[in-house]
Structure 1
Amino acid sequence: MTYQTDKALAQIRSELLTTFSAADWESYNRLVGWLRDTGVASHALKVGDDAPDFLLPDADGRLHSSEELRRNGPLVLSFFRGGWCPFCTAELCALQAAKDEFESVGATLAAVTPETRDFPRRLKRSLGLDLKVLSDVDCGVAMSYGVLFRVPDEIKVYYSGLGFDFGARHGSPDWMLPIPATYVIDAEGRIRSAFVEPDFTIRQEPAHILASLRQAL
């Protein structure tokens, strides 16, 4: 599914929420409530922290290091749950639409997903993306940024009922997901902006990311 790139993500969120069934709402409220109650997001890296180095494969199997990605300027690093999530695909389309603006200020954009195998390549093809989509093999990078959580059993049952097997999609028996998060990292590897929101339906608008990039220059 693709979206009009001139719509704000907040508007797309509102439209997507109108499609929720009663079961969707129950799962959504349970998961977001659980994430807030357990304080998972409190462990996420914050502005001023050093960004962990990483080496991850892209959708075509080429390896990219964090040092390489921020060699010539700031890095925008966006963690998303997977191509199965409509809020994630809306965000990716919005980031794609803003990619030229990011690059005009010398920034590199990379999106990080726990999905492995051919899922990232199929996602890029289906959405017409030419941004870097990196596979977080074993979810090690999301863990190092403090945005990883294990899917609660009741939510696992809900997603399984929708036909999703995160163990298969991630190449691991563990059902782990990242809290969607967007970081702006300067060329020296310092976090200059951090957006971490337990409510997976809320994403940072590209205009706000661009403002953070300009402050990081």
Structure 2
Amino acid sequence: MRLHRIEGRLVPPILGLVLLALVIPGAAQAQTLGETLAAADPAKGETVFAACRACHTIEDGGGPLIGPNLWGVVGRPVAHAEGFNYSEPLNAHGGTWQVDRLDAFLQDPQAAVPGSLMVFPGVKNPGDRANLIAYLNQNSSSPLSLADAPGAEVAAAAPAGGSRNYGGLVDAPGVEKTFAYCTACHSEMIVAQQGKTRKHWADLLEWMVEEQGMTPIGEPDMSVVLDYLAANYGVDRPNFPQR
């Protein structure tokens, strides 16, 4: 009988499988979506939601923009926000936005509802999606208990490995918020190819609000974004992309 070495010990194959389940994290039992959502951080989800604000309001009583108001979206019937004209595919999707369906839609809207008019590419990082759902759930008159909400029993997506991807932006303090706000309206490469003083970045953001209809960035996020842009995309352009 061939023996296997597990943490310095030679053990039979069957016992080896048992020990592997004990020493390898997650090998014994996959985490459910509900468990992932129960540990999610709504405050981090608010940062993720910055990319959604160009198209959606989330305040109670907020009206539609390009997309519907998202107050109370978690658990509500699909395509039922007041005052919004939904596409035929989304109307036909039916059911409710229980957490597993919402998670799938946020990951890839076109794959979840083919033909949907939502052109957003999706939130690919499972942790970001969980935080976003927790934030959406918080913005409701009757938040659900996410740990045991309908759809919470399905297996959660595996955590994303490696470092975060911020496209063409340099990974430095403030990049997460900057990437979220900027890519809500345009490619991050528009930022990466410029170099401005902090004041000129502030003036540009003010112009984006007044002339382009961008949602204003409140404090403390505005200071975080301006500090990041001034430090990494200042007049000397230390991170200008090289060809």
**Under a length normalisation based on structure 2, what TM-score does the superposition of the two structures give?**
0.23
> Which structure is higher in RCO with an 8 Å CA cutoff and minimum separation 6?
1
Larger Rg computed on CA atoms: 2
TM-score with structure 1 setting the length: 0.25
Q: Looking at secondary structure, tell me which structure has more strand per residue.
A: 1
